[in-house]
Amino acid sequence: MPRTESELALIIAGILCLASWLSRQDIRRFCVLFPLGCFTGWIAQLLLGPERNLYTPNISLYLNYVSVAVILAWGVGLSSMWALHLVICRISGRRPNAGLYILAGFPAAMILEYVGSNVLGMRLHDYQRYAPLMPSVDSMRAPLWYYEYYILVAVVFYMILTVLRINTGDWSRARIRLPIRSWL
């Protein structure tokens, strides 16, 4: 596995363990959410087309025309949003809902964009054309509509979690029928 993708895998493991601890959820739940987030992100990136999936040369592993690093970033981003959403709900004493989920997405996206851009060097091939939306840390260098698209995909992911009945910390009524269900 190329260096950037290997580093990303280690960061993902750390983030998922931290998210599990902070959200007080069993790590095995992230073994369901993370691949579901990766798949959702892969479909979202496929819809953008090949010309919108070009990255700097350090990103070299692709599935069709979508970077594996980007697929993994979607997985960690969407599952981190879910975890942060549960933390916000617990702190505020509110029930999980789409509004708090989207609210949780902003800090999650900012942190992931910073790590992706500055630690891993994951950038669009033409990132220099765009002024950073977070100039103090030189990250989020993409057209604004990309970030609007991120919100749309996050809403779709939340709807998928709702249909599967896994959008909360209580999975007792989940529709998911995997062998892992007995662990939860």
Digit-coded pLDDT (tens) for 53-98:
888 777 777 888 998 888 888 998 898 888 888 888 888 999 888 8
Q: Is 138 a residue whose pLDDT tops 50?
A: yes
Q: What is the pLDDT of residue 107?
A: 87
Map out the domains of the chain as residue ranges. 3-183
* Helix, strand, coil in percent for the chain, rounding step 5: 65, 5, 30
For residues 111, 115, 116 and 117, what is the CA-based torsion angle, rounded to 10 degrees?
100
CB 121 within 8 A of CB 4: yes
Q: What is the pLDDT of residue 176?
A: 64
User: Chain-wide mean pLDDT for the chain?
Assistant: 82
pLDDT band at 182 (very low <50, low <70, confident <90, very high): very low
Query: DSSP characters for 98-159?
Result: HHHHHHHHHHHHHHHHHIIIIIS---BTTGGGS--SBGGGTB--S-HHHHHHHHHHHHHHHH
